[in-house]
Structure 1
Amino acid sequence: MQRQKKRNFNVINQNITHKDLISGEDKMADPTEEKTTKAYFESDAGDGTKREDMYLEGKELILCFIAIFCSFFLFALDQTIIATLLTTVGNKFHSFDKIGWLSAGFLISMAVLSAIWGKLSIIFGRKITMMVAIVLFEAGSLMCALANNMNVLIGGRVLAGVGGGGIQSVAFIIITEILPIHKRPMGMAIISMVFAVASVLGPLIGGAFTSHVTWRWCFYINLPVGGAAFLLFVFVYNPPKSKGSIREKLKLIDYPGVLLLSSGLVVLLLAITFGAGGQYAWNSAAVIVCFVVGGVVTIVFFIWNVRFSKNPMLPWEVLRVFQIEASAFALFGSFASFMSSALYLSVYFQVIHDADAWKSGLHLLPLIVAVVLFSFSSAMLCKITRYVKPFAVFGAVWCMVGAGLLCLLDVDSSKSKKIGLLIPMGVGIGSLMQAGILSAQIMAPKTPGGTIMATVLANFLRSFGGALSSNLADAVYAATYLNKVNENLKYQPEEVIKELSTIDVRAIVNSTAALAKLSAPARKFLKAQLMSGIKNTFYMNLGFCAITVVSACFITNKRLPKAVPQERDEKKTESEAAESDSVEAAENDSVEANTKDESSATE
């Protein structure tokens, strides 16, 4: 009987040890003993694949990164490349009243569908989902390049945005899977640098094509680069296939959730676009109805997602973790401020200082160099020290400082101000980019798909922040400019009033060419009013940065793990694994035999 108790204790102890290895806890250990072997692991995708089978090394890893960077670069480039061809396209198709939709159509479809793409990548696999996203993006780009009227061009931008949302969402997921978490900071830093560089190169490249070739090449350029990325994904990235038939996978899609989320967010963003574009007054029935309907539908989505959906797009296991929410909102605020700052710094240099698109891009180099340097350095320090939160808080504070300093720019700012005031924002964004994603992944639940869905939530709010701030900045810029013109025009000389009464001053918002045709006094007056609009967009960014600072204070204090246990398991040889299995089987047989003997003796 005593021997039986001893064996039972050993079995229980073995079970607890195995369980604690999975959970990362050590309940049977001596409390005075230092826990140096606490295990850490990330959840599998939940599609039948194993996380350790997804890791890449050597040439395969490099080629996969090249494919990700090519596709992600095109997506980021397309967000801002449109800025410098609005006037040309408006003149070409005689549709100045619709040019705002060229940017809004892309950003809205991209932001709204990013969460949906993340869920689809779990159901159908990351490879096929990324390839479909690239095809849609390329189709939209080709549609834009061949457009013969404004409606076709806008449709192409919307389709490209659908594909772009998939590219940016799945790209982060793939990086999360091909690199273990302790090696991930550099991967996140590089893709963040690609995003920042492409966002600023967009107006520069767009201006070069528009000025020296044709605006259509802004979209043709996507075809060969995107095609190369597609082929690399076909031949280089070969992860284990997700389990299940197509019919079973289609049943896993939350169709009501997709409809509710996409329609709710689209209608909300449409309300801002309608008001910003001047098509409807802010107090008009159309705008108010869009706000009300969009808000109600979005609330209904969250109720459905949490309470009723069997396959929720945003699982409650992820939403309930406060630190993941904090990381996501930190990214929301930081990218909102970055996108609107980059767009309206470009407007500042082109409209206020008469720079062409190429020179405008060069003026933004201080911002980009700061982003690149601090993305790289913070990633290195994060990998060495394994700390994440300090870089997030540091970046959030510098984002706030940078947004405040941009408000000091003016019509007559010196060259040193135009360089120095851009650097702090780049310092903040570069430091915060990868820290925000990594902190969410550290706190991801261990349920199947937990790490992927934490990444999806962070990216969803990041992209939604960029789309929201871009639309809001357009609204603030246009409304401030028109209000200032109406308020201050009566104080101008008679000749200026007479000259401006013969033109549509609203067209100046989207046409620097029209501004150049005016007399010097009229041009000086309108530039002052436009500068007020630009400043107010920078003031708006302070609000987004405040969200970033508060959120960054509440992200997890946990550090990155030193190593992932699964990687060490992979180093076992097949013979060692077979030997371990045979020993375990022999022990089990011995326990069963002894138990039978004791039972007989007892009888």
Structure 2
Amino acid sequence: MTTSSTTSPTTSAEFPLSHRQIMVVVFGLMTATMLGALDQTIVATALPTIVGDLGSLDQLPWVVTAYLLASTASTAVYGPISDIYGRKRTYQAAILIFLLGSILCGLAQSMPQLIGARLIQGLGGGGLLTMGFAIIGDVIPPRERGRYAGYFGAVFGIASVAGPLVGGFFVENLTWRGIFYINIPLGFIAFITISRVLKKNLTSDVKNRIDLLGAALLISWTVALLLWLERSRAWGWGSPTSLAVLALALVLIAAFIRHETVSEAPILPTRIFRNRVFTVAGACTFLGGLGLFGAIIYMPIYLQIVKGQSPTLAGLHMLPIITGLLIGSISSGRLITRWGRYKAFPILGFAMSGIAMTALSRIDADTSAVYYSLAMLLLGYGFGNTTQVLVLAAQNAVERKDIGVATSTATFMRQMGGTFGIAVFGSILVGTLTTSLAAAFPTGPPAGVSADRLTGSPAVIQQLPDVARIPVIDSFIHAIQTTFTWAIPVLIAAFILSLFLKEIRLAGRDDVVATAEEPAPA
């Protein structure tokens, strides 16, 4: 009887929410996470229509880049801020910033207005991508987080892959402005849900003020580095502009590291990188984002150019990845909760992803839908076993006061990996395509076909006479095969690194209670 009377209050104090309340909170968090991930890719299929409405073709890439820069740069800042000022308030602020940006995007009457609104939207999106799992870390014991990690991994992956499909639906059936307005009701649902159920503004034991200089330096070097990655293909990698931006990024990184080592309240504590589990998990997250996001984003090019599918149909043919993500994320999460162990899952995930990428590196014009669908299913399943499991490992390796910064840093590494991958593999694809087209057409490619625009115009390519169309498609096939081939060693490196991930047992609710009941040492 004594044990019972002491256990209940302890459990309530450490993790006070009931299962029903947790499920309501998770629903709100996943809704917001879905919005943040969806808006990274949803504009892709709407870009031609947006240009037709607003003009300014030369500014078109900034519609995507602005959101990517703002969301990635702010991701690493939200965790430390929430450690000091509270998860609930920080998360609510992120939702409101995101909704403000969404409204302004829908109201934009010119391309500069849209780009500015996307920057605001990205500042909020960074919080949506990172704060959800930080809150989960506060209200759920480590062992039980596995199940919810699976849900979040599935939502993030599905939203990232489904973005172009959703965007295509709005453009073809409604209006491009709808891809931004749809965020408003969903965002308010997330905001109200968190406000009603999460009564306590959870904070860590940290009482220092926010390191404003550290935050400014972190955002500055991230923006400079991402700008170099995103725009150097257009500038030319060896151009003075590209080299100047890279030099600026390196100087800012050095200044940031120097500042963080001497700051009394660093925005990104260097001590967490001395934690081997955290460092290995972060490195695996970066390589996984680089290899998986960086390569698979070009799969729709194969489906549209080589297979001649419409954007909507190409999006539907990406469903095997979504299916694999669902199965991998949810099953791994449930097994982690049951077993209390996590190391096997990223090892399995990276191994399967490497096998799937090897299969995709061999696709050509005669490849059947069954073949590439099975390869994408396996890739999605592998990815589902890695993304949120590694965040869970990073959380479990640090003290509870550092959960916010650990979660945001791990998410930041994934975002940076994906951005690096898009830039690196994009350059590989364009470079290979340029060489192949030059070999096939010594006097220049047919009108409407451009390596710099990646996809050229699918409709134009399909209407070319066979004597021109077949060499163009063959050039695209060679470029896509080369891109996927270069992704294989990245995933192999992630697999090898995951073998060195030390496993720390995940504590359950009973362990927390038992620890709390132990008498203090004399």
Decide: shared fold, TM above 0.5.
Answer: yes
Aligned-partner residue type, residue 436 of structure 2: K
> Which residue matches 2:8?
none
Deviation sequence 1:194-214 (CA, Å, 0-9, x none): 112212221111111111111
Q: 1:98 aligned to 56, 59, 66, which one?
A: 59
Cα offset, 1:346, TM superposition: 2.1
Q: 2:481 aligned to 520, 526, 535, which one?
A: 535
Cα offset, 1:182, TM superposition: 1.4
Q: 1:260 aligned to 204, 217, 221, which one?
A: 217
Q: Summarize the alignment of residues 92-491 of structure 1 with structure 2, pairs less than 5 Å apart.
A: 92-240=53-201, 242=203, 252-276=209-233, 278=234, 280-305=235-260, 307-444=261-398, 446=399, 449-490=401-442
**In structure 2, C-alpha distance between the alignment counterparts of 1:195 and 1:434, rounded to whole Å:** 9
Structure 1 regions of 5+ residues with no counterpart?
1-49, 491-496, 589-603
- Asked whether the equivalents of residues 203 and 346 of structure 1 are also in contact (C-alpha less than 8 Å), the reply is no
**SS at 1:557 equivalent:** coil
Cα offset, 1:54, TM superposition: 4.8
Indicate how the Cα distance of structure 1 residues 530 and 498 shifts in structure 2: closer, same or farther if over 3 A, else same: closer
Cα offset, 1:129, TM superposition: 0.7
**SS at 1:85 equivalent:** helix
Indicate how the Cα distance of structure 1 residues 242 and 419 shifts in structure 2: closer, same or farther if over 3 A, else same: closer
**In structure 1, C-alpha distance between the alignment counterparts of 2:479 and 2:444, rounded to whole Å:** 23
Aligned-partner residue type, residue 438 of structure 2: N
**SS at 1:554 equivalent:** coil
**SS at 1:312 equivalent:** coil
- Asked whether the equivalents of residues 340 and 537 of structure 1 are also in contact (C-alpha less than 8 Å), the reply is no
Indicate how the Cα distance of structure 1 residues 482 and 93 shifts in structure 2: closer, same or farther if over 3 A, else same: farther
**In structure 2, C-alpha distance between the alignment counterparts of 1:204 and 1:123, rounded to whole Å:** 39
Aligned-partner residue type, residue 172 of structure 1: F
Indicate how the Cα distance of structure 1 residues 547 and 145 shifts in structure 2: closer, same or farther if over 3 A, else same: farther
Indicate how the Cα distance of structure 1 residues 423 and 502 shifts in structure 2: closer, same or farther if over 3 A, else same: closer
Cα offset, 1:190, TM superposition: 0.5
Cα offset, 1:547, TM superposition: 3.5
**In structure 2, C-alpha distance between the alignment counterparts of 1:173 and 1:505, rounded to whole Å:** 42
> Which residue matches 1:32?
none
Deviation sequence 1:422-470 (CA, Å, 0-9, x none): 12211211112332122222321x3x62333322222221122122222
Aligned-partner residue type, residue 473 of structure 1: F
Deviation sequence 1:120-172 (CA, Å, 0-9, x none): 11111101111111111112222222222222222222222111111111111
Moved more, 313-322 or 472-481: 472-481
Indicate how the Cα distance of structure 1 residues 170 and 288 shifts in structure 2: closer, same or farther if over 3 A, else same: same
Aligned-partner residue type, residue 553 of structure 1: L
Cα offset, 1:324, TM superposition: 0.8
**In structure 1, C-alpha distance between the alignment counterparts of 2:324 and 2:204, rounded to whole Å:** 44
- Asked whether the equivalents of residues 52 and 567 of structure 1 are also in contact (C-alpha less than 8 Å), the reply is no
State the identity as a percent. 27
CA radius of gyration, larger in: 1
Indicate how the Cα distance of structure 1 residues 231 and 156 shifts in structure 2: closer, same or farther if over 3 A, else same: same
Aligned-partner residue type, residue 55 of structure 2: H
Aligned-partner residue type, residue 413 of structure 2: L
**In structure 1, C-alpha distance between the alignment counterparts of 2:515 and 2:278, rounded to whole Å:** 29
Cα offset, 1:53, TM superposition: 4.2
Q: Summarize the alignment of residues 79-90 of structure 1 with structure 2, pairs less than 5 Å apart.
A: 79-90=40-51
TM-score scaled by length of structure 1: 0.79
- Asked whether the equivalents of residues 208 and 358 of structure 1 are also in contact (C-alpha less than 8 Å), the reply is yes
Deviation sequence 1:250-299 (CA, Å, 0-9, x none): x71112211222111211121122222x2x12211000111122122113
Structure 2 regions of 5+ residues with no counterpart?
1-10
Cα offset, 1:232, TM superposition: 1.3
Deviation sequence 1:297-316 (CA, Å, 0-9, x none): 113212221x2111112212
**In structure 2, C-alpha distance between the alignment counterparts of 1:530 and 1:96, rounded to whole Å:** 24
Moved more, 73-82 or 481-490: 481-490
**SS at 1:509 equivalent:** coil
- Asked whether the equivalents of residues 206 and 357 of structure 1 are also in contact (C-alpha less than 8 Å), the reply is no
**In structure 1, C-alpha distance between the alignment counterparts of 2:50 and 2:462, rounded to whole Å:** 18
**SS at 1:500 equivalent:** coil
**In structure 2, C-alpha distance between the alignment counterparts of 1:98 and 1:519, rounded to whole Å:** 33
**Count of paired positions:** 512
Aligned-partner residue type, residue 303 of structure 1: R
Indicate how the Cα distance of structure 1 residues 165 and 540 shifts in structure 2: closer, same or farther if over 3 A, else same: farther
**SS at 1:304 equivalent:** helix
- Asked whether the equivalents of residues 204 and 401 of structure 2 are also in contact (C-alpha less than 8 Å), the reply is no
> Which residue matches 1:22?
none
Indicate how the Cα distance of structure 1 residues 54 and 557 shifts in structure 2: closer, same or farther if over 3 A, else same: closer
- Asked whether the equivalents of residues 508 and 514 of structure 1 are also in contact (C-alpha less than 8 Å), the reply is no
- Asked whether the equivalents of residues 169 and 459 of structure 1 are also in contact (C-alpha less than 8 Å), the reply is yes
Cα offset, 1:114, TM superposition: 0.8
Aligned-partner residue type, residue 305 of structure 2: V
Q: 1:546 aligned to 474, 482, 492, which one?
A: 492
Cα offset, 1:240, TM superposition: 4.3
**In structure 2, C-alpha distance between the alignment counterparts of 1:139 and 1:468, rounded to whole Å:** 28
Indicate how the Cα distance of structure 1 residues 51 and 514 shifts in structure 2: closer, same or farther if over 3 A, else same: farther
Q: 1:500 aligned to 446, 463, 466, which one?
A: 446
**In structure 2, C-alpha distance between the alignment counterparts of 1:91 and 1:413, rounded to whole Å:** 35
**In structure 2, C-alpha distance between the alignment counterparts of 1:393 and 1:255, rounded to whole Å:** 38
- Asked whether the equivalents of residues 275 and 475 of structure 1 are also in contact (C-alpha less than 8 Å), the reply is no
Aligned-partner residue type, residue 538 of structure 1: F
